[in-house]
Chains A and B, each alone.
Chain A
Amino acid sequence: MKPFVLNVALAAIAVSCASSTASRAAWEPVRPVEFIVPAGTGGGADQMARTIQGIVTKHNLMRQPLVVINKAGGAGGEGFLDVKTSSGNPHKIIITLSNLFTTPLATGIPFNWKDLTPVAMLALDEFVLWVNAEKPYNSVKDYVDAAKKAPSGSFKMGGTGSKQEDQIITVGIEKAVGAKFTYIPYKGGGEVAVQLVGNHIDSTVNNPIEAVAQWRGGKLRPLCVFDAQPMAYDEPIADGKAWKDIPTCKSQGLAMDYLMLRGIFMSPRATKDQVEYYVELFKKVRATPEWQEFMKNGAFNTTFMTGADYAKWIEAEEKRHEGLMKEAGFLASPN
């Protein structure tokens, strides 16, 4: 009898100890968390960050407020350096886009993603090849033929930023089809889409959310998506066509695919508990109907990754960007 009582008592003590250490170990923010956006207000990353902020506020997912701060200087370099220098401050997270790789490579600022602590991949943003709906290109083949026929450099591709994702894709297309484009950089994706509607450029590789309104308005036509498989959304958008009906570029003979990271990082030297806290937070965000709606509106690829998988993915992607940018001659000259 006695040993049994003892065992139960010991077990009880053990359980209570375990649970108390668990509750002590679980980290939680004790002051407002800064959510850095390394891009301007109104862009894709900014919209996503502000949506997350809205979801967190509405569903009371955090006890401390989440404050969105834009640090767009130097193609986002300002934001990355800010987080890099906030070593050991767990109240700072950053949302990244492809400039995580491209900005340090193109400008030579002293920053690498390994300076930060990866938290989670939230989604991947798709790229679609768009042309003006008035133009006679109904397929990738029509488009490629026209681009090849045009005098070298007279075919204009508009995109967001210089030596960033849009221009990398443009160089990829040039290589794949053997035509020469003139790339014209603009400040934001919305502006690029409107320049295409106004026929000031010949094509763009806008993200779905940047051009969807003009597609629905019958002004633009999507030709193909730069992904290995078609997008998942089958709700009709325009002319009875859905995102799902846009063929992949590869299937149309344009061998190029590119997806942009929408992921979260935090300050250097974050502890496991701190990372765990944010991973759990973003899992909760992803489960809300508002997030689902946001994903659907922007036709995002909703891959979610954390931990070692995420780090491995980033590493591969960094190598790929380095290769792509080296080929294109976009690397900063070492000085």
Chain B
Amino acid sequence: MEELANLFHGFAVALQPYNIMLMIIGITLGVIIGVLPGLGGANGVAILLPLTFSMPPTSAIIMLSCIYWGALFGGAITSILFNIPGEPWSVATTFDGYPMAQQGRPGEALTAAFTSSFVGALFAVIMITLVAPLVAGFALRFGPAEKFAVYFLAFCSFVGLSKEPPFKTIAAMMMGFALAAVGLDSITGQLRLTFGVTELLNGFDFLIAVIGLFGIGEILLTMEEGLAFRGGNATINLRVVLQTWRELPAYWITSLRSCLIGCWMGVTPAGATPASFMSYGIAKRLARRGNNFGKGEIEGVIAPETAAHAAGTSALLPMLSLGVPGSPTAAVLLGGLLIWGLQPGPMLFVEQKEFVWGLIASMYLGNLAGLLVVLTCVPLFAAILRVPFGIIAPLILVLCAIGAYSVHNSTFDVMLMLVFGVLGYLLKKCNYPLAPLVLAIVLGDKAEEAFRQSLLGSQGSLGVFFSNGLVSTIMALGLVALFWSAIQEGYSRLRTSMA
């Protein structure tokens, strides 16, 4: 009950006119940041952080977290319209969102994405409100072995459940692992595969790879198909939002499952990217129309978006209660907290009640405000697709180049983006799936790090991955997901032979 009273006090803080104004400014800035690929929420928050030093901490965090929400919403826009994910967790949204846009249903896809984000975030905020202290303790049980198990599960549930030829999937994934291995080996502190090229010190940044593979690759493909940009017949209908809303409740099971996956992954804290991939993979296998996934299925947008936002939101919980950021943006917010003299950790909820509950209240309101802002703009965003390809393609190209440049302020990255673009084009022509490649680039080095940390701790014994109930369960789930197709086939054969 005390929590509820605190929350209402928080609402009172967040609803002051000054704070509401900051909220709307934050959301708008966030959407702009999210739309520009490469800029991303973390950079956006980092750039704007100093502006907030003169504000009271509660107002400052409200504005920054609203930029964060806005960026999350904005990331979905380019993923759906142009196949360019601005953030790692938007990758899975492109799988079905972009085909939908191409079929002239961008409004539907955008509405579904925004609404799902809202639902996922709301679910996570409610969870934070109700069970914050309990859940925070859970994160402490995650050592390197448990973390590796979670990444393992993410890989398995995506690979085992995919319908591509398994060897092409594995080949694409291995290529991703190889790319992820370039740069500094964080366990030995040695440079790997850089061949003395100083530009490669940082390894291949995920964003560069994705902007190239998806964005540039897609433009090349479209050019080959005779400049036909099939989004042109997008109808601009102001009622598209309401029509889509009428459809959405039918997918409540997918939403609920995605919310749970997201919250769990956010708290552990594996983060939003594995959450979105895992949720997409599981939905693909379990949904009634799962065979249609990848061809523009609305459920294929709902699943990753819901999970990503539930994870992104619940990632703030370990940050506040333990001081461990679950995402890069959360890491920058963490820096902000310290500068305002607030020490995240177990005592924050006790000593800084007004701040914590003001923040939680602003999560409710910021999300709602964000949803309203982006939904009213859906027809406007969808209309972008009506611009002829000859005009839009150079614009996308410029946008991609700016995005790639802004990741590290380096022109080398722009070249790299073009190389990845050609690679993406070739892979698509040869029918290699891009998703496993991207998944491996994003999570490959993290999984490797957790794996080697675990083995260091266990002095080389693989038994560490089955050393307690928690880690064994996750590993077992992963193995089941990996061999799901084989298990299913074996089961059906068994039944036919019995009959």
Contact = CB atoms under 8 A, between A and B. Distances in A.
Interface string A214-225: 101111000000
Contacts, number: 154
A213 B50 contact: no
B457 interface: yes
Given A198-B140, A214-B346, A216-B343, A78 B46 contact: no
Interface string A247-280: 0000000000000000000000000000000000
Contacts of B334: 42, 190
B201 A42 contact: no
Among B141, B186, B348, residue most surrounded by chain A Cβ atoms (within 10 Å): B186
A213 B323 contact: yes
A201 B202 CA distance: 28
A198 B203 CA distance: 31
Interface string A197-222: 11011000000010011101111000
Contacts of B56: none
Interface residues of B, number: 53
Among B188, B323, B325, residue most surrounded by chain A Cβ atoms (within 10 Å): B323
A72 interface: yes
Contacts of B184: 73-75, 77, 107
A108 B188 CA distance: 13
A49 to B, nearest CB: 9
A169 to B, nearest CB: 15
Interface in B33-74: 42, 46, 49-51, 53-54
Contacts of B185: 162
Contacts of B325: 42, 190
A41 B42 contact: yes
Interface string A157-201: 000011110000000000000000011111110110111011011
Nearest to A105: B189
B186 A187 contact: yes
Interface in B436-493: 449, 453, 456-457, 459
B163 interface: no
Interface in B306-349: 322-325, 328, 331-332, 334-336, 338-339, 341, 343-348
A190 B323 contact: yes
B16 interface: no
A51 interface: yes
Interface stretch (A52-60, A139-147, A314-322): A52-60
Nearest to A212: B343
Interface string B197-224: 0100111000000000000000000000
A46 B42 CA distance: 13
Contact of A72 (B53, B194, B202, B347): B202
Nearest to A187: B186
B238 to A, nearest CB: 40
Contacts of A201: 457
A138 interface: no
Contacts of A73: 183-184, 201-203, 408
Contacts of A214: 323, 345-346
Contacts of B449: 187
B46 A41 contact: yes
Contact of B324 (A69, A154, A190): A190
Interface string B129-155: 000000000011111100000000000
Nearest to B338: A47
B457 A200 contact: yes
A81 B410 CA distance: 13
A77 B201 contact: yes
Nearest to A68: B46
Contact of B189 (A54, A156, A163, A217): A163
A128 interface: no
Contact of A156 (B53, B190, B346, B457): B457
Contact of B323 (A78, A183, A194, A198): A194
Nearest to A84: B198
Contact of A198 (B51, B141, B346): B141
A195 B188 CA distance: 20
Nearest to B203: A73
A54 B453 CA distance: 36
Contacts of B376: none
A217 B335 contact: no
A161 B189 contact: yes
B191 interface: yes
B237 interface: no
B411 to A, nearest CB: 13
A217 B409 CA distance: 40
Given A106-B190, A297-B341, A74 B49 contact: no
Contacts of B332: 41-42
A140 to B, nearest CB: 23
A177 to B, nearest CB: 20
B187 interface: yes
A15 to B, nearest CB: 41
Among A51, A163, A186, A197, residue most surrounded by chain B Cβ atoms (within 10 Å): A197
Contacts of A156: 457
A233 interface: no
B341 A293 contact: yes
A212 B191 CA distance: 33
A71 B183 CA distance: 13
Contacts of A163: 188-189
Given A194-B140, A216-B343, A182 B187 contact: no
A29 interface: no
Nearest to B188: A162
Contacts of B324: 190-191, 194
Among A106, A164, A184, residue most surrounded by chain B Cβ atoms (within 10 Å): A184
A88 interface: no
A78 B199 CA distance: 8
A39 B338 CA distance: 17
A332 B335 CA distance: 33
Given A161-B189, A194-B323, A297-B343, A54 B50 contact: yes
Contacts of A46: 335
B347 A58 contact: no
A109 to B, nearest CB: 7
A50 interface: yes
B325 to A, nearest CB: 6
Contacts of A216: 343, 345-347
A153 interface: yes
Given A156-B457, A213-B343, A216-B347, A297 B338 contact: yes
Contacts of B144: 184, 200
A40 interface: yes
Given A75-B184, A217-B347, A106 B189 contact: yes
Interface string B166-206: 00000000000000000111111111001000100111000
Contacts of B187: 162, 185
A77 B324 CA distance: 25
Interface of B: 42, 46, 49-51, 53-54, 139-144, 183-191, 194, 198, 201-203, 322-325, 328, 331-332, 334-336, 338-339, 341, 343-348, 408-409, 449, 453, 456-457, 459
17 contacts: A46-B335, A50-B46, A51-B339, A74-B191, A163-B189, A182-B456, A184-B456, A185-B186, A190-B324, A194-B139, A209-B338, A213-B348, A214-B323, A214-B346, A216-B346, A217-B346, A297-B343
Lowest 7 CB-CB distances: which A-B pairs, in order?
A213-B345, A73-B202, A217-B346, A74-B201, A42-B331, A162-B189, A200-B143
